[in-house]
Amino acid sequence: MKTSLFDLTGRTALVTGSAQGIGFSLARGLGSAGAKIVLNDRSVEKLGEAVATLASEGIEAHSMPFDVSDVDAVRAGIASFEKGVGPIDILVNNAGIQRRSPLEEFSVDDWRDVMRINLDSVFFVGQAVAKHMIPRGRGKIINIASLQSEAARYSIAPYTAAKGGVKNLTKGMCTDWARYGLQINAIGPGYFATPLNQALIENPEFDSWLKSRTPANRWGRIEELQGTAIFLASAASDFVNGQTIYVDGGVLATL
């Protein structure tokens, strides 16, 4: 018997930072489950290419270019789409950056960049979208946390702090908004082969360490995050709230 639990037909999903990498893969996965996709990034050119790619695969896609760390731009973009195109049913807060440096040498400017893109934006976009979801009495928000929401690694302490914040902001969003019919959860990816991790992928020592540290003995493939996103965006997760699901090949399960 066919189930409709994971069917996203008729739903619209906004994915931030989705012109490439994990964000684009998540958008593609949600689109394959029937959702109409709204891609967000700062680059209009990259967004155009991403929209064209999804369209060639039969997925309806729109672009919404704005800087997720600019609260005024976020609010204006969300309001314009809701008024001109239609309601946003699913939000994936994916936009993120990385800066690497020993903590004692980490610059204040880099600290602020990491916080505003990785953590502030989750609040800005989440609040702007939730204000439209709440009167409708339904909505799915998926925040992209990280393995670093639980465990630190040398030279990325600010990223660890920001992603720890994403995990706990997810709990806070649930505490405030579940009463209105919203489900807010997070996905914590382990190590995936993405442009953000390119320097690590090309480092033989780190590559060897990562594979030996991961029970699955490999890097993750970005399409392997799609199933968890579809689950959290669909009716299958209607009583799942405030949770972070780690997709990490078993890293957190073992010493």
What are 220-243's pLDDT values in tens digits? Answer: 999 999 999 999 999 999 999 999
In a domain, 7, yes or no: no
Q: How confident is the model at residue 2 (pLDDT cuts 50, 70, 90)?
A: low
Q: How confident is the model at residue 125 (pLDDT cuts 50, 70, 90)?
A: very high
What is the Cα–Cα distance from 115 to 163, expressed in whole angstroms? 9
In a domain, 6, yes or no: no
- The predicted-structure confidence for 147-168, as pLDDT tens digits, reads as follows 999 999 999 999 999 999 999 9
Q: What is the pLDDT of residue 255?
A: 87
In a domain, 43, yes or no: yes
Can you give the CATH number for the domain in which 221 is found?
3.40.50.720
In a domain, 134, yes or no: yes
Q: What is the pLDDT of residue 213?
A: 96
What is the Cα–Cα distance from 142 to 17, expressed in whole angstroms? 13
In a domain, 77, yes or no: yes
Between 18 and 195, residue with greater pLDDT: 18
Give me the count of residues in the chain.
255
In a domain, 2, yes or no: no
Domain, as residue range, for 145: 12-246
Task: Count helices and strands (H / E) in the chain.
Answer: 9, 7
Catalytic residues: 159
In a domain, 122, yes or no: yes
In a domain, 252, yes or no: no
Report the percent of the chain where pLDDT is more than 90: 95
| pTM of the predicted protein model | 0.97
- Whether the predicted pLDDT of 60 surpasses 80: yes
Tokens read off for 172: 């806070």
DSSP string for residues in 73-129: HHHHHHHHHHHHT----EEEE---------GGG--HHHHHHHHIIIIIHHHHHHHHH
Give the count of domains, the chain: 1
